[in-house]
Structure 1
């Protein structure tokens, strides 16, 4: 058996309630140098919002961002993975659903995020994607 998702995932994902203003999520992405925020309904995963979602669905799609909330721009049909699944299975699920990041959930509660960059750094450390993923962010 290969490595488990828990071995590669980023732990302590940024997760915010669905009624959080989009601006606050964008600030969290900037401050943490990440490209996604998990969206919660209570302590359960309700969606995911990426930096691209904010641009396409909020900035380009909303007239007034002051009232724009995460629930308005997040993807609510979220593909997830368990921390105990094999990473090859998780990567195949990402490819099959054309997603770059997949929330890791345990009993419906988010515990991490697995990204293509995480996988590249493990499986192909000399690849361009791995180098980009390992580089310091541009702020």
Structure 2
């Protein structure tokens, strides 16, 4: 394994990128004080910073990191470390001391077996819905959170907790109208395939109802949140009556 190098959660992506270059590594544990809270990779910086047009001198590491930390212990075998990485679809693990859980290093699949970089299996994208002057609905992305392990339901739970913590709200629905889930897998030919799923049928129904209300009320401007709330209330009342 390599020596441990951390980046603090509130540092910028620019600072993280410089540290990755200086250390000639592809991933860094993200720390908040003495606690490891996630992992950020060079791909995270590229895809959630540069490619999304964000200012990497202002965007924080916490906004781009994976929402959880994958690790093994320093007395685990290399086979155990490789198993965790393969099952979790990641290429790097933090290595912790078994006694005090402090970070002692980083181990990579490349060093173990020469493997190539892989995508994380899930990304949860929180969005706000608005309507343009022609009545077409659009999603404005609020935050994208990568999750490296677990089922889709567990990934959504992890991402919503992260979103609420970072935005300092009790419920993600206070700021977002919904979320999409991008799942990543490798097909039989070895190609990486992405599949994007909307939040749920409820959000799809609310979107259709919001369009109806918007048109019924004369296509008003600046009332997106109000109309969404009206549509959500109607759908939830209808579901309650059915139950």
Unaligned runs of 5+ in 2: 117-243
1:10 corresponds to: 2
Greater strand content:
2
- The secondary structure found in structure 1 opposite 2:73 is coil
- Residue pairs, 1:53-72, within 5 angstroms: 53-72=44-63
1:45 corresponds to: 36
CA distance in 1, matches of 2:96, 2:49: 26
- Residue pairs, 1:33-112, within 5 angstroms: 33-106=24-97, 107-112=100-105
Q: With structure 1 as the length reference, what TM-score do the two structures score?
A: 0.75
Which of the two has higher C-alpha Rg?
2
| Equivalent residues of 1:62, 1:68 under 8 A apart | no
Structure 1 runs of 4+ aligned residues shifted over 3 Å read: none
Question: Alpha-carbon deviations, 1:8-58, whole Å to 9, x = none?
Answer: x112x2202100111011011111111111110111111110000001111
- The secondary structure found in structure 2 opposite 1:81 is strand
Give how far 1:85 is off: 1.0
Question: 2:23 aligned with 1:32, yes or no?
Answer: yes
Unaligned runs of 5+ in 1: 1-8, 121-128, 133-139
Q: With structure 2 as the length reference, what TM-score do the two structures score?
A: 0.44
| Equivalent residues of 1:45, 1:108 under 8 A apart | no
